[in-house]
């Protein structure tokens, strides 16, 4: 019997037992759908992370204040309001935690830090701003940031029209602003780009528009287009805030990033008046560490998805093996007849094995299609391109082939070992 004949007979047998086959295919499909679906969603999130954080670059880092950590069961602070954070480490001055970075400290760092790098000061304004012009107005949730002449560069913003903040405007805190694309598009019917040199009101305060940003889309619920950028001095003057200032540094060369971070920490420790025995009361965050943390989370999800899928497929394999054993029992006389007319045990075993693999691959096909479809719902939500995890599609096919092979081996061997005389007598 040729392989084509074996394949044809396998399909015919599968069609004969549609209910049983359908249930097994469904179980296998569910396992693969769970695996491929989650992997597809993860790749969509991965793509979104890469797009969102590509601007930050591996050669950039930021300096922010150190928030107070919640400790459970820890002992009492030591004399002098100092406590050890770990054995042999510098002591941490509790009173220094949550001490914001002031404008003076940030500006002093920019002045003193002479490492070859781009440096920027920024401060968060607030996220509840209403922008209006000539009767038109935005929703009251526009986020406002204060920066300097390097803010756009270090945050990967590109101007659609107009210009960047100037040094004099940063120094004086004049009421000038750069509108995010969505804000400008909402207020200017002729197009976002036409907003330049117009006057808008931010919470009833007049501002002159000097630039409009190109669209950046959303990053996990935060719209990078529903923003306003002005100078950090303007934020301090017009919208007084107790927010901590942030400092961003972009080294000229990736190879210099560690040296730049070392010098930055040393310089800022002196500015923050940290003694030699104290821990730094600020944090240096390398830009790509954010991405790395996110990727580690995604890797964990990938492992979890794989485990879920494999557990489901193990159950499917057991079910498939049981079905094939039942099939062997039901077709005992058929096997006896085949052997009686000269069929070899090898041919009989191969027949049952092919049937098991076919059922498994049918489940793989449906599961992959459903998994890619379900997973790409996340692509729609995250506004990324259509994602097909080709590697995992191949893995899914290989895994399902292995499932069919393993589930079919024992029933196939059992069928091949049947005695033809006893098989013909089987009722």
Instruction: List the pLDDT tens digit at each of the 427 positions of the chain.
Output: 566 666 776 677 777 777 777 888 888 888 888 888 888 888 887 776 666 555 555 678 899 987 755 333 344 444 444 444 455 556 665 555 678 999 999 999 999 999 989 999 999 998 889 999 988 999 999 999 999 999 999 888 999 999 999 999 999 999 999 999 999 999 998 999 999 999 999 999 999 999 999 998 765 556 789 999 999 999 999 988 788 999 999 988 777 888 999 999 999 999 998 888 888 889 888 766 555 666 667 777 778 777 877 787 787 778 778 777 777 777 677 666 766 666 677 777 787 788 888 888 888 899 899 989 988 887 787 777 788 888 888 988 888 888 888 877 877 777 777 666 565 555 5
Residues 418 and 345 in one domain: yes
> Looking at the DSSP assignment, which residues form a beta bridge with residue 119?
249
Residues 145 and 248 in one domain: yes
Residues 160 and 213 in one domain: yes
| CA gap 79, 399 in Å, rounded | 62
Give the single-character DSSP code of 193: G
CA-wise closest residue to 27 among 321, 302, 303, 305? 321
Residues 254 and 321 in one domain: no
Give the single-character DSSP code of 343: -
Residues 106 and 235 in one domain: yes
Residues 257 and 304 in one domain: no
Asked, for residue 91, whether it belongs to a domain, the answer is: no
- Where among 240, 271, 302 does a domain terminate? 271
Asked, for residue 154, whether it belongs to a domain, the answer is: yes
Residue 81 region by backbone torsions, left for phi larger than 0, else alpha for psi between -120 and 50, else beta: left
On the 0-12 / 13-18 / 19+ scale of CB atoms within 10 A, 387 is buried
| CA gap 35, 303 in Å, rounded | 10
Residues 154 and 48 in one domain: no
| CA gap 357, 329 in Å, rounded | 19
- Where among 237, 271, 305 does a domain terminate? 271
Residues 248 and 313 in one domain: no
Residues 334 and 234 in one domain: no
Asked, for residue 74, whether it belongs to a domain, the answer is: no
Asked, for residue 121, whether it belongs to a domain, the answer is: yes
Residues 320 and 179 in one domain: no
Asked, for residue 287, whether it belongs to a domain, the answer is: no
Asked, for residue 59, whether it belongs to a domain, the answer is: no
Residues 257 and 339 in one domain: no
Question: What is the pTM (predicted TM-score) of this model?
Answer: 0.57
| CA gap 149, 420 in Å, rounded | 89
Residues 258 and 310 in one domain: no
Expressed as residue numbers, the domain containing 341 is 3-53+292-425
The tally of domains found in the chain comes to 2
């Amino acid at each position: 019997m040729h392989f084509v004949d074996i394949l044809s007979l396998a399909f015919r047998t599968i069609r004969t037992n549609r209910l049983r086959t359908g249930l097994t295919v469904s179980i296998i499909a569910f396992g693969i759908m769970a695996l491929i679906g989650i992997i597809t969603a993860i790749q969509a999130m991965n793509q979104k992370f890469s797009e969102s954080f590509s601007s930050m670059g591996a050669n950039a880092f930021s300096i922010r204040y150190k928030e107070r950590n919640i400790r459970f069961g820890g002992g009492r602070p030591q004399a002098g309001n100092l406590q050890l954070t770990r054995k042999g480490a510098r002591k941490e001055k509790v009173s220094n935690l949550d001490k914001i970075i002031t404008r003076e400290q940030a500006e002093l760092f920019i002045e003193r830090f002479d490492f070859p790098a781009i440096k920027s000061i920024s401060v968060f304004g607030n996220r509840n701003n209403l922008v209006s012009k000539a009767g038109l107005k935005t929703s009251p949730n526009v986020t406002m940031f204060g920066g300097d002449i390097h803010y756009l560069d270090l945050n990967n913003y590109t101007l659609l029209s107009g210009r960047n903040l100037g040094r004099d405007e940063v120094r004086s805190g004049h009421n000038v602003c750069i509108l995010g694309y969505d804000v400008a598009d909402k207020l200017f019917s002729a197009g976002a780009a036409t907003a330049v040199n117009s006057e808008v009101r931010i919470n009833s305060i007049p501002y002159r528009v000097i630039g409009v940003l190109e669209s950046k889309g959303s990053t996990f619920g935060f719209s990078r287009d529903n923003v306003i950028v002005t100078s950090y001095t303007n934020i301090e003057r017009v919208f007084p805030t107790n927010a901590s200032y942030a400092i961003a540094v972009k080294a000229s060369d990736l190879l210099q990033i560690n040296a730049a971070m070392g010098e930055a920490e040393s310089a800022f420790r002196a500015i923050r008046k940290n003694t030699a025995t104290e821990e730094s009361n600020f944090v240096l965050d390398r830009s790509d560490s954010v991405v790395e943390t996110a990727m580690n989370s995604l890797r964990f999800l990938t492992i979890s998805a794989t485990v879920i899928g494999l557990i489901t497929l193990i159950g499917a394999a057991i079910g498939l093996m049981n079905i094939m054993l039942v099939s062997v029992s039901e077709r005992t006389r058929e096997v006896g007849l085949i052997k009686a007319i000269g069929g070899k045990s090898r041919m009989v075993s191969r027949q049952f094995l092919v049937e098991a693999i076919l059922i498994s691959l049918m489940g793989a096909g449906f599961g992959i299609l459903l998994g890619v479809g379900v997973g790409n719902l996340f692509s729609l939500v995250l506004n990324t391109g259509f994602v097909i995890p080709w590697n995992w599609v191949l893995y899914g096919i290989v895994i399902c082939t292995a499932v069919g092979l393993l589930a079919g081996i024992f029933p196939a061997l059992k069928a091949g070992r049947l005695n033809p005389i006893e098989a013909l007598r089987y009722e």
